Amino acid sequence: MEVKVAILDDNITGPPFFKAEHGLSVLLEVEGRRFLWDCGLSDLAVYNARLLGIDLRTIERIGISHGHMDHAGGLAAVLGASGPKKVHMHPCALEPRYMVAGNFKLFVGITLRREALESMSDGLELSAGPVEVMPGVGLTGEVPRVTDFEGPEPSLFLLKDGELIPDPFVDDQALVVDTPDGAIVLTGCAHSGLVNILKHVMEKHGRIRAVVGGTHLGMGAPLSKVEATMDFLDEVLPDKIIVNHCTGSVVMSRMLDRFKDRFIPGHTGLLATL
Ligand SMILES: [Fe+2]
Ligand SMILES: [Fe+2]
């Protein structure tokens, strides 16, 4: 089964002329059918898609991994280029989110109102559970927390009933392609924990064939979490690991050392067959 990805938005630029920002957008192609996973922070996914010669009108649907601006901020620009498409996300993705750093309280949620998203898209599909979005391709829905080293992040908050609470990220999910050789897993930021996500996917699909996306190991994650995650990846040993976005260059280079040719550093403009 032929599965390809094109990275349209990422923190690192690839070939000349591509642009980068703190964001993620990955075009998934399965047997010629296209799905867009996240839309980046601004309109760069549209710009980089144009450079790659990808016509966004050919995507069937869009999925948003969780309610952070660096994954959904580009939604209006993408829908402008793609035309109305169905947009999938967890209902809690629309709740207001903040990053608190010292005296700063930054709004980091989705700026578009629900009504605006509904009018721009071909329908907003809100679901907390698993959903099939194309044949053999599905969203995981909520990810159970089973590890003891992947907990809440101290700077990220959710506004609930007028109060800031540590963000539980119930909305954070992954995209999974079911193939005869195992599951291909696309993450957003992996706020649920990369190992929690992979364990959840393995319960249903068995083997993990490839992992693509953000890991959140580069945002001040404790070294013990980085090591435990890499140990788990070593145990599971996917054929390809393409991590990027919030993984950070230090962890990416450690992964390159450890996983050698199984590891591909992600960047905008990257085209890969998995
Ligand atoms: Fe995030
Ligand atoms: Fe992110």
Contacts of 158 (CB under 8 A, 6+ apart): 95, 96, 97, 98, 164, 165, 166, 167, 168
The tens place of each residue's pLDDT in the chain, 274 residues long, gives: 899 999 999 999 989 999 999 999 999 999 999 999 999 999 999 999 999 999 999 999 999 999 999 999 999 999 999 999 999 999 999 999 999 988 899 999 999 999 999 999 999 999 999 999 999 999 999 999 999 999 888 899 999 999 999 999 999 999 999 999 999 999 999 999 999 999 999 999 999 999 999 999 987 888 999 999 999 999 999 999 999 999 999 999 999 999 999 999 999 999 999 9
Q: What domain range includes position 233?
A: 3-273
Least distant ligand from the CA of 11:
2
Ligand nearest to the CA of 245: 2
The ligand minimizing its distance to the Cα of 213 is: 2
Domain CATH code at residue 206: 3.60.15.10
Going from the Cα of 180 to the center of ligand 1, the distance in angstroms, rounded, reads 31
Could you list the beta-strand ranges (E) of 180-228.
182-186, 208-214
Number of independent structural domains in the chain: 1
Note the ligand closest to the C-alpha atom of 110: 1
Q: How far is the CA of 16 from the centre of ligand 2 (A)?
A: 24
DSSP strands (E only) in 135-265: 137-139, 156-160, 163-166, 175-179, 182-186, 208-214, 240-244
